[in-house]
Structure 1
Amino acid sequence: MRFAALLATAMLVSGGAFAADVTYGEHGMALFGGKDGLYASHLPMFHAPHDYQVILQVHVANAATDAALRKRLDGKTALWTIAPEKFELSRLAPQAPSPLKQFKADLVQGHFEQGGKTQYAASTIVVDNVLMFRKLSPEQHASSIATYMQIGSGQQRYLVKHIDGRPDYDHILSYRAAPGAATDDITVIKQDLRQPSPAELATALHTRCDAIKGTVYYYTDDLK
C-alpha cells in the first residue's frame, strides 16, 4: 500500500497520466517582443484544457539564445510561436499552489501547427511575470466593443485583444508609442470579427496612424 501511494504521488508530481488537472496539455503560444521584453500569449479555445487567455513575460534561460531571439523579433510582425512540453495551465494562475517557473519548448518561426520551422529546439523558457490569466466563458455572447491590453511601457509596445465574446478573434499587434504615452487599456468599436483598422487604433491611442506597425497574430478558427 505504501508503494502504491508513493507511485501515485510521483505520477501527480511528474504530470503523468494519473494527474487529474483538466488544464494539462500542450499549450501553444504566440511569441513576440524584442530587446525590451519577450512575451508569450497562449492560443486559447473555448474548451478545456485551453479555455484560458494567458499572457506571460518570459526569457530564454540560455543567454545567447535569448539575445539572438530578441534581435530576430525586435518589434517585427513576423509570427513566431512556442511549442511547449505538456503542463498544467492552472499553474500559471495567480497564487497557484505550485506555480510554473519554467518549461521546455521549441521556438518556431511561423505557426508550429501550420508549417512553421523550429529555430531553437528544446529551449528552457523562464516565466518572469504573468500579465493576464482569464478563464473564458463557453457561452455564445456578443460584445459591442473590443478592449486591447497594452504590453510594454517604452517606445516599442504591443496590443493584445481581450477575448470577451463568442465568436471572437485573437489579435496581437505591434505599435510605436510616443514618449510618455499612457499604458492604459484601449477600446474600439467591434464590428463582427473584423480587425480594427490602423486609423481606429491610432485614434484610441491618441497617436498617428503610421505608429501602428501591424498585426503579429490574428486568428478566429479556434474561437467560434
Structure 2
Amino acid sequence: MTVNYHRQKLSAIALALFMATTFFTLVGTSLLVHAQAVHGNHALIGSHGMVLIYDQEEGIFASHLPLYRSPHNYQIIYKVEVSEHEMIRELLAAGMVTVLPTNFDLNKLISGEAFSVEAQFFQGHFERGGQVKNTGMISFIRPVLVKKVTKEHSQAASFYTAALSKTKVIVAHKIQHPPSFDALAFMPLPGKAAAETNNVIVCDNPKTFDVSTISKQLELCGIPAPVYIEIRDFE
C-alpha cells in the first residue's frame, strides 16, 4: 500500500511538472511568434527615398527608389500632391527631383493608405550630390503600382502597366535578377505595339544596360521615351 501510494504521488508530481513545462513552452513560443510578427510589421519603418515624375495631364507621381535588399525591395508608384506645387514643377522641368520623406512605415504604401509626411525635395539624386531645394509636405493620395522585387531570372524584359486614366497608363520595368534596371514611362492607351498579357508588356531585353540602349529598346517595343531610368542600384 505504502509503495503504491508513493508511486502514485510521484506519477502525479511528474504529470504536473510535464503539464507546467508544456504550458510555459507553449506560452514562450506564442510570445516569440508574436514578437517576430510585431518586428516584421515594423521592419519597414525607416528612410524611403523617392523620385518624382510628372505628366502634364495626370500630375505628379512618386516612385519609391527600390533596391534588392529589404526593406527597400518594393516597386511602388503613388499619385501624390506636394506643397509648393509650382516650385516643384519648375524643379522637374530642370531635371531629376528626388524626395527624402521623414521616416515612415513602408507598409502604409504597400497597403494603399493615404497620408502626409514632411519631406526634403532635392534637385538631383539625394544620395549622389543632389541639392536640397525645398522642405515641405508630400501627400500620398492613392497607389498606382505596388510590386515586390523578386530577383527572377528571365530572357525577356517585362513591363508592368497601370492605368492612370481612361487614356493613359504608366509603364514600369519589372526589376529582375541583376543586372537589371528601373525604368518609368507614361504611355497613351491606344496603339500599343508590344505584346501584352495580364497588364504586362513583354519585350526583348536590351543587349547592354546603359541609358541609351535601354531607351532604344523601349522605343522598339512601342514604349515612349522613359521619364526615369536607374541602372547603378541593379548592377
TM-score, structure 2 as length reference: 0.66
Report the Cα offset of residue 73 of structure 1.
Answer: 2.6
**Alpha carbons of structure 1 residues 34 and 218: separation in structure 2 relative to 1, 3 Å:** closer
Deviates more, 1:80-89 or 1:147-156: 147-156
Higher-Rg structure is 2
**Aligned partners of 2:104, 2:208: CA distance in 1, in Å?**
31
**Aligned partners of 1:161, 1:124: CA distance in 2, in Å?**
28
**Aligned partners of 1:150, 1:73: CA distance in 2, in Å?**
23
Are 1:223 and 2:234 an aligned pair? yes
> Counterpart in 2 of 1:189?
204
Aligned-residue identity in percent: 24
> Counterpart in 2 of 1:43?
65
> Counterpart in 1 of 2:44?
23
**Aligned partners of 1:118, 1:172: CA distance in 2, in Å?**
23
> Counterpart in 1 of 2:27?
none
Counterpart selection for 2:177 from 126, 143, 165: 165
> Which amino acid in 1 is paired with 2:217?
E
Structure 2: segments with no counterpart, 5+ residues? 1-38
> Which amino acid in 2 is paired with 1:166?
P
- Within 5 A, what are the aligned runs for 1:1-224? 21-36=42-57, 37-60=59-82, 62=83, 65-73=84-92, 78-94=95-111, 99-121=113-135, 123-137=136-150, 141-150=152-161, 152-153=164-165, 159-173=171-185, 177=188, 180-181=190-191, 185-191=200-206, 194=209, 195=211, 196-205=213-222, 212=224, 214-224=225-235
Deviations 1:141-163 (A, max 9, x none): 42112222446558887532121
> Which amino acid in 2 is paired with 1:223?
F
**Alpha carbons of structure 1 residues 130 and 174: separation in structure 2 relative to 1, 3 Å:** closer
The count of residues paired between Structure 1 and Structure 2 equals: 188
Q: SS where residue 85 of structure 2 aligns? A: helix
**Alpha carbons of structure 1 residues 191 and 80: separation in structure 2 relative to 1, 3 Å:** same
> Counterpart in 2 of 1:5?
none
Q: CA RMSD in A?
A: 3.2
Report the Cα offset of residue 21 of structure 1.
Answer: 1.0
**Aligned partners of 1:150, 1:71: CA distance in 2, in Å?**
27
